[in-house]
Structure 1
Amino acid sequence: MRVTQSMLSSNMLRNLSNSYGKMSTLQDQINTGKKITRPSQDPVVATKGIGYRTDLNKVEQYQRNLGEVNNWLDSSDDALDHVGEAVKRLQELVTDAANDSKTSDDRKKIQVEITQIRKQIQDLSNTKVGDKYIFSGTNTLTPLHDGNTFTDTSIATGLNKEVKIEVYDGVQINVNTTGIQLFSDIDAMLEKIETSLGNGSAGTVISGYLSDINNMQNNVLEKRADIGARQNRVEMMENRLESQEIIATKRMSENEDIDLEKAITEMITQESIHTAALSVGSKIIQATLVDFIR
Structure 2
Amino acid sequence: MIDSLSPDTQRFLRQVSGLQERINSAHQQITSGLKLSAPSDSPDQVGSLLLLRAEMERNTQIKANLDRFKTEVDTAEGVMASAVRILDRVRTLGAQGATFTMNASSRQTLGDEVGSLLEYMVGLANTSVEGRYVFAGDNDGVAPYTLDWSAVPPTGAYGGSDSTREALLPNGSRLRIARTAQELFDSSNPGENVFQAVNALREALYANDQAAIQTSLGALETAGDYLNGQHSFYGIAQTSIGAALDDAAKRDVRLKEQVADIEEADITAAILELEQSRFHYEAALKSRAQIPQQTLFDYLK
Confirm whether residue 166 of structure 1 aligns to residue 149 of structure 2: no
Find the partner of 2:204 among 185, 192, 196: 196
**Could you tell me whether the CA contact under 8 Å between 1:100 and 1:202 is conserved in 2?**
no
**Could you tell me whether the CA contact under 8 Å between 1:23 and 1:267 is conserved in 2?**
yes
SS in 2 for 1:37: coil
Please report how far the alpha carbon of residue 176 of structure 1 lies from its aligned counterpart in structure 2 after TM superposition. 0.5
Instruction: Flag the 1:274–1:114 CA change in 2: closer, same or farther, 3 A.
Output: same
Confirm whether residue 180 of structure 1 aligns to residue 182 of structure 2: yes
**Could you tell me whether the CA contact under 8 Å between 2:72 and 2:129 is conserved in 1?**
yes
**Could you tell me whether the CA contact under 8 Å between 2:119 and 2:147 is conserved in 1?**
no
Q: Deviations over 1:145-167 (max 9, x none)?
A: 134365635xx6x6233312322
Instruction: Flag the 1:79–1:147 CA change in 2: closer, same or farther, 3 A.
Output: same
Please report how far the alpha carbon of residue 108 of structure 1 lies from its aligned counterpart in structure 2 after TM superposition. 2.2
Q: In 2, Cα distance between the equivalents of 1:235 and 1:56?
A: 19
The residue identity in structure 2 corresponding to 1:110 is L
Q: How does 1:100-115 map to 2 (within 5 A)?
A: 100-115=100-115
Please report how far the alpha carbon of residue 283 of structure 1 lies from its aligned counterpart in structure 2 after TM superposition. 7.2
Instruction: Flag the 1:163–1:2 CA change in 2: closer, same or farther, 3 A.
Output: closer
Please report how far the alpha carbon of residue 36 of structure 1 lies from its aligned counterpart in structure 2 after TM superposition. 2.0
The residue identity in structure 2 corresponding to 1:266 is E
Q: In 1, Cα distance between the equivalents of 2:163 and 2:231?
A: 18
Unaligned 5+ segments in structure 2 are: 149-153, 187-192, 295-301
**Could you tell me whether the CA contact under 8 Å between 1:163 and 1:174 is conserved in 2?**
yes
Please report how far the alpha carbon of residue 211 of structure 1 lies from its aligned counterpart in structure 2 after TM superposition. 0.8
Unaligned 5+ segments in structure 1 are: 288-294
Q: Deviations over 1:65-85 (max 9, x none)?
A: 222332232222111110000
Q: In 2, Cα distance between the equivalents of 1:215 and 1:100?
A: 24
Q: Structure 1 stretch 227-236 or stretch 126-135: which is displaced more?
A: 227-236
SS in 1 for 2:117: helix
Q: How does 1:1-294 map to 2 (within 5 A)?
A: 19-148=19-148, 150=155, 152=157, 159-168=161-170, 170-184=172-186, 185-199=193-207, 201-277=208-284, 279=286
Instruction: Flag the 1:13–1:160 CA change in 2: closer, same or farther, 3 A.
Output: closer
Q: In 2, Cα distance between the equivalents of 1:180 and 1:128?
A: 15
Q: In 2, Cα distance between the equivalents of 1:277 and 1:151?
A: 93
The residue identity in structure 2 corresponding to 1:233 is S
Q: Deviations over 1:200-236 (max 9, x none)?
A: x143332221111111111111112222333343344
1:292 maps to which residue?
Answer: none
The residue identity in structure 1 corresponding to 2:265 is I
The residue identity in structure 2 corresponding to 1:263 is A
* RMSD over aligned Cα atoms: 3.4
Please report how far the alpha carbon of residue 254 of structure 1 lies from its aligned counterpart in structure 2 after TM superposition. 2.2
Q: Deviations over 1:85-142 (max 9, x none)?
A: 0001111111112222223322222222212111110100011221221211221112
Q: Deviations over 1:172-209 (max 9, x none)?
A: 2111112214423322333332223223x143332221
Q: In 1, Cα distance between the equivalents of 2:215 and 2:203?
A: 14
Q: In 2, Cα distance between the equivalents of 1:252 and 1:151?
A: 57
Q: In 2, Cα distance between the equivalents of 1:181 and 1:14?
A: 78
Q: In 2, Cα distance between the equivalents of 1:270 and 1:134?
A: 65
Q: In 2, Cα distance between the equivalents of 1:124 and 1:230?
A: 19
**Could you tell me whether the CA contact under 8 Å between 1:136 and 1:179 is conserved in 2?**
yes
**TM score, norm. by length of structure 2:** 0.79
**Could you tell me whether the CA contact under 8 Å between 1:128 and 1:134 is conserved in 2?**
yes
**Could you tell me whether the CA contact under 8 Å between 1:108 and 1:197 is conserved in 2?**
yes
Q: In 2, Cα distance between the equivalents of 1:152 and 1:90?
A: 22
The residue identity in structure 1 corresponding to 2:260 is S
Q: In 2, Cα distance between the equivalents of 1:233 and 1:127?
A: 22
What is the aligned length? 284
Q: In 2, Cα distance between the equivalents of 1:170 and 1:48?
A: 20
Instruction: Flag the 1:3–1:166 CA change in 2: closer, same or farther, 3 A.
Output: closer
Q: In 2, Cα distance between the equivalents of 1:248 and 1:111?
A: 60
Instruction: Flag the 1:183–1:48 CA change in 2: closer, same or farther, 3 A.
Output: same
